[in-house]
Amino acid sequence: MGPLVAARGLTWTPDGAAAPVLDRIDLRIEPGERVLLAGPSGSGKSTLLRALAGVLHVNGGGELGGQVRLAGRPVSEVGASVGLLLQDPRDARVAETVGRDVAFACENLGLPRDRIERAVLAALESVRFPYGPRHASNAVSGGEAQRLALAGVIAAGPELVLLDEPTSMLDPESAAAVREAVARVVQESGAALVVVEHRLQGWLPMVDRLVVLDDDGRIVADGPADSTLARYGDSLAAAGVWVPGLPDPEPLAIDPDLLAPAVEGDDELMRAVGVRVEHRAPVRFAGARLGVEPPRVALDGVDALVRGGRVLALRGSSGAGKSTLVSALCGLTRPVGGSIEAGSRLAAGLPSEPYRWRSKQLAARVGWVPQESSAVVVGASVRDCLRATVAALGESRGSAAGNPDVAETLAGALGLEPLLDRSPYALSGGEARRLAVACGVAHRPAMICLDEPTVGQDRATWAAVAGVVLAAATAGAGVTVSTHDDALAARAHDSLTLRGGRVA
């Protein structure tokens, strides 16, 4: 019996790129084998998964060399035999309700209705999804969306399961549950598994092999996980891989003057008192009737305080309300109860409630780094995105003392300088996240709200992101960061933990 997956000479050069993202990849995966794929941010891990799934051209054109075969057939012909979980789980959303979303692949296979219903319920249970199949698929948190997408992959029972950072936005308990679900599914089905993760620790006990890519998209290590780590551990850590057992890296030293706020702030920049936020699902048509779901309470009676010169870490499990609180604090969500008010100097003649500020007034005072990095894509190039807010507010906002161009300097610190002329749509997930961080701080706001800024980062790029966060606070900005990252949270000055929309 031959290999399940056989890639030979696989090379991929996106349109406009000077060098290939994947360079002459040779890879064999046997039926039922479990492979952990690692490497620094931007090394081509996600691209390799898309190649193995036969969907490289979905996100844009390029030159493909070599071949990928699944069970002896070109991978482009195998369809539902491959299940791919994308790096951004919201890209997998195809239906209005959770049940229909998970059932999508099963329906494409033409499975009987009763079998589909059983498969959907079993998949949701496996990933510990907190809602039933009738729940609106767009009324979920980032972590819940990740579990929902995973349920959709495993429900159809593919021969090859490809997972791109399936636990990156989950709290430790939820991440452990997802790993257990994946292990159970591949064990029971006999499917082969390839999983991409930056942090290796949790996956090592359940994989057979560790494959490592370098910055040039080449395989530099491939073998049994334990012996590969023992032999190459130091060099892998130097390349950015989160090798278990090593201390966390130190944040990169970044000159605080680079991020000195352009607008004078207060000691108490933003105060939330008794805040209540409700999420309402869109009205749905159900036959001849309108289907209206009751609102879901995302925050209930929450107090929070953002201080200038300090980092506030928002902690809690997936779906606890962290992203909603970030959105409310930076004026993007209006609470239905309680109050959120800015300090007098930050408001500077405007209404005290930030949700009442106009977009340009809000942007001048608050920097926002969303969980969905695609929200910052507002230009044809990385450089255009970096300079968009600065250009809208006035070029002086992009210049700090002794530094004529904050955006360009941030690009260098965050490893984006070689990508300045590249399309933002051609970035890896980790690169796009760093672009979002740079876009959120380049105009030197007095208050910065970041939602999971370190997701998808290797050791070196994590240090750069953490360095930006701490430098902004040292410069006097008030920084709020929602995160499951213990290493980042440990460096915050203050912490607030949410549980079920309330302060724990």
Give the model's pLDDT for residue 293: 63
Q: Where are the alpha helices (DSSP H) in 156-266?
A: 172-189, 225-238
Inside any domain, residue 212: yes
Inside any domain, residue 87: yes
Backbone angles phi, psi at 337, to 5 degrees: -155, 155
Residues 303 and 163 both lie in one domain: no
pLDDT tens digits, residue range 362-402?
999 999 999 888 888 888 999 999 999 999 998 778 787 76
- Domain end among 209, 238, 267: 238
Cα separation of 7 and 52, whole Å?
A: 8
Joined together, the tokens standing for residue 111 give 């499975």
Domain of residue 421 covers 256-503
Inside any domain, residue 247: no
Residues 198 and 280 both lie in one domain: no
Joined together, the tokens standing for residue 4 give 């399940």
Residues 165 and 275 both lie in one domain: no
pTM: 0.87
pLDDT tens digits, residue range 335-366?
999 999 999 999 999 999 999 999 999 999 99
Residues 229 and 272 both lie in one domain: no
Inside any domain, residue 491: yes
Residues 321 and 397 both lie in one domain: yes
Inside any domain, residue 319: yes
Give the model's pLDDT for residue 444: 95
- Domain end among 238, 273, 306: 238
The three-state DSSP-derived secondary structure of 197-256 is CCECCCCHHHCCEEEEECCCCCEEEEEEHHHHHHHHHHHHHHCCCECCCCCCCCCCCCCH
Joined together, the tokens standing for residue 311 give 């980092």
Cα separation of 215 and 41, whole Å?
A: 8
Residues 260 and 188 both lie in one domain: no
Inside any domain, residue 485: yes
Inside any domain, residue 250: no
Give the model's pLDDT for residue 461: 96
Residues 155 and 278 both lie in one domain: no
Give the model's pLDDT for residue 328: 97
Mean pLDDT score of the chain: 89
Residues 106 and 33 both lie in one domain: yes
- Domain end among 188, 206, 238: 238
Residues 328 and 264 both lie in one domain: yes
Residues 211 and 276 both lie in one domain: no
> Which residues of the chain fall below pLDDT 50?
none
Helix (H, G, I), strand (E, B) or coil at 42: coil
- Give percent of the chain with pLDDT exceeding 90: 57
Residues 75 and 22 both lie in one domain: yes
Residue type present at position 262: A
Helix (H, G, I), strand (E, B) or coil at 493: coil
Inside any domain, residue 469: yes
Q: CATH number for the domain including 421?
A: 3.40.50.300
Residues 54 and 106 both lie in one domain: yes
Q: How far is CA 62 from CA 17, 213, 382, 470, in A?
A: 9, 20, 19, 39
Give the model's pLDDT for residue 290: 52
**Percent helix, percent strand, percent coil in the chain, to nearest 5:** 40, 25, 35
Give the model's pLDDT for residue 206: 92
* Count of domains for the chain: 2
